Amino acid sequence: MNKEILVEWNPHWEETAGSKLIERELVRDIEPWLERKEILGFLGVRRSGKTTLMSILINLLSSNIPRKNILFIKCDDDRIQKENLIDDALKGYMELVNPQGKIFVFIDEVQEIDNWENTLKRIYDLEKGIKLIISGSNFSMQKDDFSFRLAGRIAYFEVYPLSFKEFLKIKIRIRDKIEALSKKDEIKHYLFEYMEFGGFPEVVLEKNPTMKKQLLQFYFDTIIYRDIIKKRDLRSAAKMERMINIFLQNISNPMNFSKVGKDILLSVDTVGEYAAYLGDAYLVFTMPIFSFSVKAQEINPKKIYCIDSGIRNIKGFRFSLDYGRIAENIVFIELKRRTFSDPLSRIFYWHDKKQKETDFLLMGENKVSNAIQVCWEIIQPVVKKREVEGMLSVLNEFNLECGLIITEDYEGEEIIGTKKISYMPLWLWLLRL
């Protein structure tokens, strides 16, 4: 292993690993796992910040252990021989540094190495003083054979594009709710920017709007062609492209897979299979209707959401600024972030017999725990009446005491009979102040 390349990969041996790293809330969830034996695996859409997250963790560890007890291996470096790279890098590192005590090994783009899962299993089982942290292609890290080989040895964490709270920290400083309210107009200005361009870190940091759009287009093309069409060896690439365009034009809406299949000449099973591929790539998610019947969940239309509003806006043709649907999409992704650490959490939509729909039902421990509706223009009387009736229907159906309606700007609460309905602006809900 070329020692100069090892040193180049590991600038933290001499200095801080990146002086201006974007703060990520996920670090709080990961930190307790750093002392455990399990391999940590980072999943997520391309360009969501998995490598940067590793740099943040390297900085965190460097404050408590010798810097040279941390090794970073960059598996997609085209200057190196891929065969046996992990073993060769470890051997070269031991010869060069001779670390004492526990070491932390970060392996980026691990899927570039053949049989990497067997290598990690061997290191995990035999090398008690090595902690492994990896990132890589979602496809390679979700394969059934990989999951089987590393079963019980790996803990996954999903890395999403920046949340609005993380995004806002780059723009302005907000310490508490009082300060947030005093800067409401400025925060709302940034919320609309977030709704338009999304939260991919490099897009957020880019100041030129044209360049932002070009980056988003590049991300989309790379995900579709490299992470889905090429990896899955799809013969119907054109039909996949048509399907994703239909999905992105209809975010936050229930989609009938049978109808989509007829429109693009695919079977309903193939549409479902393609939708699963999009989900594995963390590009598009489907959300089922709530039902105690698994079959009913499968056959009913599924609501469609996109990983990032910026991606959606450059690909989903819009007749107008559909802030309501974009807001609902942002809420869904935020709920995915907030519920990931709870393995019992599920998210559904629901409607009653009169088709009064509830955007989100949160379920945990075999019962519905929360009902959330997103309504951008709640101040219109006819709209508010419709939303309140829908919320009361779901609260009564599932014996819930209160529900939440997320709005553009309206905040308050009202008691109707024994039920309470809270109203909260989207920006405030996202900041969790």
Question: CATH number for the domain including 45?
Answer: 3.40.50.300
CA–CA separation, 399 and 10 (whole Å) = 55
Residues 293, 413, single domain; the answer is yes
pLDDT for 144 equals 53
Residues 236, 322, single domain; the answer is yes
pTM of the full predicted structure?
A: 0.94
Residues 252, 125, single domain; the answer is no
- Asked if 288 and 298 count as a contact pair (C-beta separation under 8 A), the reply is yes
pLDDT for 146 equals 58
Residues 41, 67, single domain; the answer is yes
Q: Which two tokens stand for residue 377?
A: 């223009």
Q: Which residues of 198-208 are buried (b: 16+ CB within 10 A; e: fewer)?
A: bbbbebbebee
Query: pLDDT at residue 161 above 80?
Result: yes
Of residues 371 and 433, more confidence is placed in 371
- DSSP character at residue 168: H
Residue 309 structural domain: 167-431
Residues 123, 195, single domain; the answer is no
How far does Cα 292 stand from its chain's mean position?
A: 27
The last residue of a domain, from among 158, 183, 207: 158
Residues 62, 192, single domain; the answer is no
User: For tokens 């200095």, what's the residue?
Assistant: 15
Q: What would the pLDDT profile of 353-396 be if each residue is shown by its tens digit?
A: 989 999 999 998 889 999 999 999 898 899 999 999 999 999 99
Residues 422, 303, single domain; the answer is yes
Q: Which two tokens stand for residue 405?
A: 């309606």
Give the containing element (helix H, strand E) for 133: strand 130-135
Query: pLDDT at residue 193 above 80?
Result: yes
Residues 289, 424, single domain; the answer is yes
Residues 218, 301, single domain; the answer is yes
Q: Report how many domains make up the chain.
A: 2
In the predicted model, what is the mean pLDDT of residues 152-166?
A: 94
Q: What would the pLDDT profile of 73-93 be if each residue is shown by its tens digit?
A: 999 999 998 899 999 999 999
Q: What would the pLDDT profile of 248-258 be if each residue is shown by its tens digit?
A: 999 999 999 99
Q: What would the pLDDT profile of 296-308 be if each residue is shown by its tens digit?
A: 999 999 999 999 9
Residues 202, 291, single domain; the answer is yes
The last residue of a domain, from among 130, 158, 186: 158
Give the containing element (helix H, strand E) for 154: strand 154-158
Query: pLDDT at residue 18 above 60?
Result: no
CA–CA separation, 165 and 389 (whole Å) = 31
The last residue of a domain, from among 158, 176, 211: 158
- Asked if 206 and 215 count as a contact pair (C-beta separation under 8 A), the reply is yes
CB atoms within 10 A of CB 155: 12
Residues 388, 419, single domain; the answer is yes
DSSP per-residue codes, 34-48: GGSSSEEEEE-STTS
User: For tokens 């806006």, what's the residue?
Assistant: 313
- Asked if 7 and 1 count as a contact pair (C-beta separation under 8 A), the reply is no
Residues 81, 228, single domain; the answer is no
